[in-house]
């Protein structure tokens, strides 16, 4: 006798979106250098976010220079996410600051896009915002606490695309601006309960988007 979905205990799964893979980040050669530049649709600041090597790692990350700077990413609505349950988000980041009272906020906004609808900027906030995160030391592995999108907010039967926007807000004016106190976003992580097919449909799906 087979096991039904109701007998399976769900466990959280996760997805990780590297900051350098966000849709609004372009990779450009800079006079033969291994470093690359970020090109927003308009110049947000005199020093817009850029793709730079996270010092000491050899890994690329997106460096933010000014409060309000952001990057955007568009994804198809994941078929394996159960949007009836809460969705959790957190940011992985690092900073050159050694001051443990310095803190940074990453604001995550989103927008659901529908077939036949208009292309819109990310204008929706999480139900629980990602909280401010304190610096733990110079170029340490930093991970924020979670922000939450309430279950049932997104109708996965009608939504097609999901636009995500991560903006940086530092409460210390000079944090992120000086050469040795850069703020680097490594990536955005999402944790969710997997969507389970009904028993009758588990082996007879003709259209995965239906």
- State pLDDT tens for residues 36-45: 444 445 444 4
Q: What architecture does CATH give domain 11-192?
A: Sandwich (2.60)
What sign has the CA pseudo-torsion 168, 132, 143, 16? negative
pLDDT score at 18: 96
pLDDT class of 178 with cuts at 50, 70, 90: low
- For residues 87 and 180, the model is more confident at 87
The per-residue DSSP string of 111-159 comes to EEEETTS------EE-SBPPPPEE--STT--EE---EEEPTTSS-TTTE
pTM of the full structure: 0.83
The domain segmentation of the chain, as residue ranges, is 11-192
- State pLDDT tens for residues 99-155: 888 889 999 999 999 988 999 888 999 999 999 999 999 999 999 999 999 999 998
**Range with lowest mean pLDDT among 48-52, 54-58, 146-150, 206-210:** 206-210
């Amino acid at each position: 006798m087979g096991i039904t979905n109701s007998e399976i205990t769900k466990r959280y799964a996760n997805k990780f979106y590297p900051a350098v893979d966000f849709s609004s980040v372009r990779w450009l050669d800079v006079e033969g250098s291994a470093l690359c530049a970020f090109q927003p649709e308009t110049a947000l600041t005199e020093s817009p976010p850029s793709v730079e090597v996270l010092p000491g790692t050899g890994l690329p990350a997106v460096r933010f220079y000014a409060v309000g700077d952001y990057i955007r990413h568009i994804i198809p609505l994941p078929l394996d996410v159960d949007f009836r349950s809460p969705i959790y988000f957190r940011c992985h980041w690092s900073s050159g600051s050694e001051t443990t009272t310095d803190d940074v906020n990453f604001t995550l906004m989103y927008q659901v896009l529908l077939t036949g609808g208009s292309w819109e900027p990310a204008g929706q906030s999480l139900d629980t915002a990602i909280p401010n995160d304190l610096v733990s030391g110079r170029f340490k592995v930093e991970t924020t606490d979670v922000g939450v999108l309430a279950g049932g907010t997104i109708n996965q039967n009608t939504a097609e695309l999901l636009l995500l926007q991560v903006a940086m807000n530092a409460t210390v004016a000079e944090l992120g601006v000086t050469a040795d106190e850069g703020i680097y976003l490594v990536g955005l992580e999402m944790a969710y309960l997997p969507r389970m097919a009904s028993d009758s449909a588990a082996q007879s799906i003709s259209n995965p988007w239906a």
